A and B are shown apart, each in its own frame.
Chain A
Amino acid sequence: MTLLEVKDLKVSFPTADGVVRAVRGVSFTVDAGRTLGIVGESGSGKSVMTQTLLGLTPGGEISGSAVFDGVDLLTLGEDEMRKVRGAQISVIFQDPLTSMHPLYRVGWQISELIRAHDKSVSKREARERSIDLLRRVGIPRPETRVDDYPHQFSGGMRQRAIIAMALALSPKLIIADEPTTALDATVQAQILDLLLELQRESDTALIMITHDMGVVADIADDVMVMYAGRAAERAGKDDIFYAPHHPYTKGLLESIPNSSAGGDRLKPITGQPPSLIRLPSGCKFHPRCGYVMDRCLSEEPTLRPVGDDGYHVSACWLPTAAAGLSEQAEEIRKKTVRAERSEASEQIAEEIAAAPESEGSVI
């Protein structure tokens, strides 16, 4: 069952330097009980996009639609949005240090959330429910720890408390924005396991925003790779990892140090992400793409099916058969590229090949 359907969402912010086009037309759906992983580098628009869904981007110019459970979130007023936020959609942010108020007790903060959405709950009842929630997320001795201040919790425990808050009102959708980035590996493993377990128990949908392909490999069902405010590729998890079509997805996978792949050198993506104020022409990835062709310079590709299932879509002009990490796929890519290049794109390709290690010049 489709819980959230986002269509052609665009967000831009007018600034003194020009219009920042943070999100430039993104569409996706999330089903109940599923996990969508959204991957992208800093500035790819992944956080702005989800914040917009919750009405947290004041000052942004927003268009498109985001239908959640039959209601278009983008048309809701502040008061109506407040009823959705926390109760039906809750958010877990990256930094467990700053997402809690330092001067209020942990239990008080959870109780406040419960009572803000339902005035009929008594203080005592809210406290009881807070203790239950803390127990559910694995805080030891919740009866006493409920009266602790956030600074008395470790980073991992604080993130657990935040998850307890996110669960407090049994939301249908949880948006987790880099929830484990600030945590150590062993704690990260605990938190990811906890999220998965809770999701299974309650059939909640989860949107996991991250820059870490390892986190995605662990818990996502579907993956959307974002680049410069748009989806570059979207597919089931296995297709993204084993049959990526977009050269950006392929580049991301290849730049991760991997002991099993061997080799002394990493294969980074050349250059750096573009400025969202002055975007390149055509495909926004072309200045960094080793497979750049003539049409990439002038025409921006849109998402089209590249797999057998119809769900795997990619915004790249390379032929459908070029999906994958195999040598065959590489042959197809090279052949296509040779046929489709003239002077202009050849020059860009040569520059990329000549300076694979440099980040290019700042704009």
Chain B
Amino acid sequence: MSVPGTENAAAQQANGQQPAPPDSDDDILVRIENVKKYFPIKSVGFTRRTVGQVHAVDDVSLTIPRGRTLGLVGETGCGKSTLARCVAGLIPITSGSITFDGQKISGLSRRAMQPFRREIQMIFQDPYGSLNPRQRVGSIIGEPFAIHNMASGNDRKKRVQELMERVGLNPEHFNRFPAEFSGGQRQRIGVARALAVRPKLIICDEPVSALDVSIQAQVLNLLADLQDEFGLSYLFIAHDLEVVRHVSHAVAVMYLGRIAEAGPKDPVYDHPRHPYTAALLSAAPAADPRTAAQRQRIILVGDVPSPIDPPSGCRFHPRCPKAQDLCQHEDPPLEVKPGDPVTHQAACHFPVQDGEDLATAGSATSAAGSRESA
């Protein structure tokens, strides 16, 4: 079965009724260009002067192709959720531009943004906190129809039940409350709600992190099926690297508000160029004792520095096992490194070579890198 009207929307697109973007980049759905998002820090007291800025997202450029998944990885506080919120139009950006389907959506008024809100939906991490506990499931999933004046009465009920069936929920549970569902089922409710208004882009912010492994696999399979069926694009945020590799076509690694490395998933995972990507990959637990025993972990020293006053030069240099003088002074551009496909970019002066041993290099320079952040 399919969600009613979806074929219609797809047909419209095929007929070219959607205005084609001037640069004819038809296959790019979202273009993020030099986006910055700074949060002001106000002084305590009467004057509330701005005394600093949190550089949450600092000059990020990315694209999300139609029908594809861009995985965004990085540690707590790297700005990945802030970037997602900017794309969803939930918070205004400080500078740069975000283009959706050929139209600039950054800086739009609330009213002008409204039609795009239908096209961009979100699925949140916490299936307990993201559903109103006093609202019945039918009305939670049906609410987007009400907001966008898309269906009412029996028609709405029918559509909601079709959605419930599509995401693997029993349509008879229409009148239940979220508390009557398990974590995995609640996440399915979240998926159904996002799907209701036939979006083109779904932003998934850690959609499976709160779920048990066996349930996590069910939800990931569901997301993959929906992408095939409706041609959805995903911006998929997660900290579990294996999950991101499984669902994504391309990945971007963020560190302290910047993109450290980006590209198609296999080159990035198999031949990471940025030492931070290499460290992240080496730290991810592998569910295989032999791999775990053989692997050389690159243990990074210290913690992520504060985004209020990010380090000079390359932001990773205080923790980098390969850092040299140049890294302290000069911010490396995000560029293609020799021997890499043109889509694979890294922001590093001294990119990692295949087979290079960073684990031991790290211990040699750890004294230099042990500058504490907090």
Contact = CB atoms under 8 A, between A and B. Distances in A.
Real complex partners, A and B?
yes
B288 A217 contact: yes
Interface stretch (B48-56, B144-152, B219-227): B219-227
Given A266-B246, A272-B215, A156 B285 contact: no
Interface in A181-213: 184-190, 192-193, 211-213
A241 B288 contact: yes
Which of A187, A215, A237, A260 is packed against the most chain B CB atoms within 10 Å?
A187
Interface string A121-144: 000000000000000000011000
Interface stretch (B181-189, B307-315, B326-334): B181-189
A357 interface: yes
Contact of B374 (A152, A188, A237): A152
Nearest to A186: B283
B76 A186 contact: no
Given A141-B372, A211-B213, A186 B300 contact: yes
Interface string B208-242: 00001111111011101100000000000001111
A359 interface: yes
Interface in B150-204: 168, 170, 173, 176, 180-185, 188
Interface string A261-279: 0001111110011000000
A362 B284 contact: no
A41 interface: yes
B245 interface: yes
B299 A190 contact: yes
Given A257-B245, A361-B170, A269 B280 contact: no
A15 to B, nearest CB: 16
A155 interface: yes
B210 to A, nearest CB: 10
Nearest to A238: B289
Contact of B216 (A186, A255, A265): A255
Contacts of B353: none
A252 interface: yes
A259 B246 CA distance: 7
Contacts of B221: 265-266, 268, 357
B1 interface: no
A256 interface: yes
A214 B284 contact: yes
Nearest to A214: B285
A266 B75 contact: no
Contacts of B287: 213-214, 216-217, 241, 253, 256, 258
A302 interface: no
A154 interface: yes
B318 to A, nearest CB: 12
A265 B224 contact: yes
A157 interface: yes
A192 B299 CA distance: 11
Contacts of A252: 213-214
Contact of A186 (B75, B224, B373): B75
B90 to A, nearest CB: 24
Contacts, number: 150
B309 to A, nearest CB: 16
A184 B299 CA distance: 13
B299 A193 contact: yes
Contacts of A140: 302, 370, 372
Interface string A210-231: 0111111110000000000000
Contacts of A212: 213, 285
B297 A189 contact: yes
A267 B217 contact: yes
Contacts of A269: 214, 217
B224 A184 contact: no
A220 to B, nearest CB: 9
Nearest to B319: A186
B213 A41 contact: yes
B372 A42 contact: no
Nearest to B306: A154
Contacts of B245: 257, 259
B213 A213 contact: yes
A209 to B, nearest CB: 14
Interface in B275-297: 279-280, 282-289, 291-292, 297
Contacts of B218: 268, 357-359
Given A213-B287, A257-B246, A186 B217 contact: no
A184 B242 contact: no
Considering residues A211, A255, A266, which has the most beta carbons from chain B within 10 angstroms of its beta carbon? A266
Nearest to A241: B289
B319 to A, nearest CB: 9
A359 B182 contact: yes
A256 B285 CA distance: 12
Nearest to B173: A362
Contact of A41 (B214, B292, B304): B214
Contacts of B286: 214, 217-218
Interface string A342-363: 0000000000000101110110
A253 B289 CA distance: 12
A153 interface: yes
Contacts of A237: 289
B212 A185 contact: no
A305 interface: no
A55 interface: no
B62 interface: no
A186 B280 contact: yes
B128 interface: no
Counting chain A CB atoms within 10 Å of each CB, which of B170, B216, B300, B374 scores highest?
A: B374
Contacts of A152: 374
A311 to B, nearest CB: 16
A136 B241 CA distance: 30
Contacts of B283: 185-186, 188-189
23 contacts: A41-B212, A41-B213, A140-B302, A140-B370, A156-B303, A187-B75, A211-B212, A214-B287, A217-B285, A237-B289, A257-B217, A257-B220, A257-B243, A258-B287, A260-B288, A265-B224, A267-B217, A268-B214, A268-B215, A269-B217, A357-B218, A362-B180, A362-B182
Interface of A: 41-42, 140-141, 152-157, 184-190, 192-193, 211-218, 237-238, 241, 251-253, 255-260, 264-269, 272-273, 355, 357-359, 361-362
Interface of B: 75-76, 168, 170, 173, 176, 180-185, 188, 212-218, 220-222, 224-225, 239-243, 245-247, 269, 279-280, 282-289, 291-292, 297, 299-300, 302-304, 370, 372-374
User: 9 closest Cβ contacts across the A-B interface?
Assistant: A214-B285, A268-B217, A257-B246, A269-B214, A189-B283, A255-B217, A266-B217, A213-B287, A184-B75
